[in-house]
Structure 1
Amino acid sequence: MIYTFNAKEFLLYPVMKSYFELSDNDVYKAIWEGFELLLKQLNRKKVSYDSLKSALIPNQDKDRFETCFIIDSTQMVCADYGNYVFEKLIPLLDKESAYSILCGDYIDLLYKYRTDSQQQLRWEMNNKLIRCHKSEYKHSSQYFLVYINRLTGNQRLKIVEGLYQYKWFTGFVDVTHSSCFKSYISNILESVCIKTKSTVIMSHPSDHSDDENINVRGLPFEANGFKIISINEDSYGAFLSYKLESQIPDKEDVGFSFNALFPKFDSFEKIELHISDDKWNKYLTNSEKGKGRIMETLGYSSIDKECFSKEVFKHICANYIYNLKKNEYGDLMFNVCVELPTVNGHIRKTTIALKYHPENGIIEVITVT
């Protein structure tokens, strides 16, 4: 199983396909050869790929939160504010759970298209911000963002309380659920590392030996009791860099993920979501023997199959797919995590397991959780 494949931020495979005019079958082989190489690299360094699962896939746990910490660099005297922030942050990280850490400046990608880009970026951040200190907004690029994808409430509280003593800590944004702010930062943040208990996994340049473990960023993980493992950036970028979910479709990224699942994927125009009447009536909407209680919570009854199908298909095209695998029966399986409104006005993260039939382009719903 490949937990996630990243062709959004990491462009090696799209560039290879375009430059060398590779077929889908060639890309499929290249992806799986790359994944096998990653497994060998991890095994050589005594890291289990399975132990990284929770750090790589979308979070559905109610007691885990995605958080973006906001730093005002103009309130610092040091030029290397990124490393300085991590000097203060790393001692606050736990040594039990697994999560991915991303960071980056709040740069303006909209200025070419909108004259009010700064007003828009300011509003999107401040609309969700839980403020800890005053900050005079002059330009989005003054803010440095650190994102962690899977914190408990207590872990987040420890970080907030630890950073609160610094005036440059503007506050944090809960990005557990979709928003314009979350979609925007999904395009500007880059992976720092995966932290799994007391081990930190980072990337190193491809011209370094894979037998080395290099702290390329020079962040003080070792000084705070963490062990550094580094993986070749060609392997890390494609298979270990976490992708934030976005409201904006990236069909090329999803298409490459399908290509990792099967040697040929034509286009979204040629695929169709199918739910059989038996599956819908006897399992998905059956409260006694199936998933009826979940479906009732989401407001779907036995007469809403078409409506549910359209909603799920829309999310498949707009979201990214993960847990890519061929099971023991040769079935091509994958998951999507979709946010659906509940009947009581909340948002529920729902994982939908699907099966892909490449011979006719049909995607079949297997279960929901």
Structure 2
Amino acid sequence: MSTPFTIHSINAYTHGLLGSMIGMFGLEPSQMRELVLDMHGQVTERLRAESIEYSDLRNALTPTSKKHEVAFIFDSTRVESWHYGLELAESWIPILSDLGPEKTAISVGDIIGLPAELAWSALHRHLVGPEDFPILSPELYFVTYMTNLTAGQLKKMDSELRNRTSAYLGYVDCTVWNPLKFAMLLPQVGLRIGSKIITTADEDGNANLPGYPFEASGFETIGVDDDQYSILLDHRLDNGVPAWAEDDSRIALSVLGGDFSPLSDGDVFANDLRITYLQESHGASLQRAGLFGIDKDILSGAVKEKISSGLVYNLRFIEGSRGSERVPELDASMFTVQVEFPDEEAGVKRYQVGLKYRAVDHSSEITTFF
């Protein structure tokens, strides 16, 4: 690799095109890398033509430790139209415009595939709303899912939704794992960046094909080729399926020089010098996760166990240098994985683990933990 790049997210998790191309056309890892980087270049140019920098989409597409992912839950039986998703959008789109995050990925859909008793139990435990929510067949609960919300934005949006529609039941904070995420196979309807909504486009370039009323709230809709969008601009809601995560990491790491081996097959390590750095620079996070001061092999094992079924984000190739001198020996291929550990208060907290990837032996060195 010779040209630096940063790719926030590659969706081989819920979108099967890249994976199917390996089998159909016998793509080699180097060909996959060229395909993804070429696609990334095209998406970057398309967005730049609309005065959007791809780099500005990072917080919408990747997990962040201090922001929330939230599922706003609606009772679709309280909507008169059969097109209840569109009708409910008339409630949440103006609120997004006025009170929501400037950068966010928005997905919508029904809760599907979860046994009714489990869905009701999960809602009873996690729904922030009335204690007596309606007991419905799970697919009658409609979800609008957003990323990158501050606590203040969440509070204001929740309050305003309650005022606008009786169909709104409350929200579930999906920042960390809960069983409802397994049933949220939600299509993304838009990626907000300021006053613009990026959507998929058809062959003629038409955006916002479902007809969501974004323009009525002052948004400009911008279309991107469907395959390019679904692979590079689609937020991956982690549904907790390890097999999907393995397929996902096989392709992601191939872009960093890997050979289609999943992340779970590789070694994870940290040498003594790195452990010292982590304890000095990320000690508070390690302490909360119960990892401070433990043996480096135990620390590496604990991290590997968590990242083996995690999703790979923020892939980047960084040219090595020493001052103004180019030093290829210092080149680095990096990526980030989200992990969850119990915290000191018997809850669960999300962390971002940064890793340096060595394609030659498919191993990863822990570099950051925050």
SS of residue paired to 1:86: helix
Equivalent residue, structure 2, for 1:32: 37
The alignment status of 1:67 with 2:58, answered yes or no, reads: no
Equivalent residue, structure 2, for 1:217: 210
Equivalent residue, structure 2, for 1:265: 260
Measure the CA separation in 2 of the matches of 1:173 and 1:18.
Answer: 38
SS of residue paired to 2:8: coil
Measure the CA separation in 2 of the matches of 1:155 and 1:301.
Answer: 33
Measure the CA separation in 1 of the matches of 2:340 and 2:265.
Answer: 25
**Superposition deviation, residue 246 in structure 1:** 4.0
SS of residue paired to 2:197: strand
Equivalent residue, structure 1, for 2:21: 16
Measure the CA separation in 2 of the matches of 1:71 and 1:293.
Answer: 38
The alignment status of 1:237 with 2:230, answered yes or no, reads: yes
The alignment status of 1:78 with 2:75, answered yes or no, reads: no
Deviates more, 1:338-347 or 1:241-250: 338-347
The two structures have a TM-score, normalised by structure 1, of 0.89
Measure the CA separation in 2 of the matches of 1:293 and 1:81.
Answer: 46
Equivalent residue, structure 1, for 2:3: none
Deviations 1:271-321 (A, max 9, x none): 1011112222x3222x4xx33343233322433322221121122211111
RMSD: 2.0
Measure the CA separation in 2 of the matches of 1:361 and 1:161.
Answer: 48
Partner amino acid for 2:349? R
**Superposition deviation, residue 135 in structure 1:** 4.6
The two structures have a TM-score, normalised by structure 2, of 0.88
The alignment status of 1:284 with 2:281, answered yes or no, reads: no
Equivalent residue, structure 2, for 1:170: 169
SS of residue paired to 1:164: helix
Equivalent residue, structure 2, for 1:113: none
**Superposition deviation, residue 29 in structure 1:** 1.5
**Superposition deviation, residue 268 in structure 1:** 4.5
Deviates more, 1:151-160 or 1:263-272: 263-272
Equivalent residue, structure 2, for 1:336: 337
Partner amino acid for 1:8? Y
**Superposition deviation, residue 269 in structure 1:** 6.0
Distance 1:140 1:292, change over 3 A: closer
Q: Gapped runs of 5+ residues in structure 2?
A: 1-5, 321-330
Q: Quick one: percent identity of the two aligned structures? A: 26
SS of residue paired to 1:315: helix
Measure the CA separation in 2 of the matches of 1:291 and 1:94.
Answer: 36
Deviations 1:28-50 (A, max 9, x none): 22111111111121122221101
Partner amino acid for 1:69? F
Deviations 1:171-201 (A, max 9, x none): 211112111222432xx11111111111111
SS of residue paired to 1:318: coil
Measure the CA separation in 2 of the matches of 1:87 and 1:42.
Answer: 26
Partner amino acid for 1:4? S
Equivalent residue, structure 1, for 2:156: 158
Count of residues in correspondence between the two structures: 350
Query: Is 1:71–1:170's contact at 8 Å kept on the other side of the alignment?
Result: yes
Equivalent residue, structure 2, for 1:248: 241
Measure the CA separation in 2 of the matches of 1:269 and 1:192.
Answer: 31
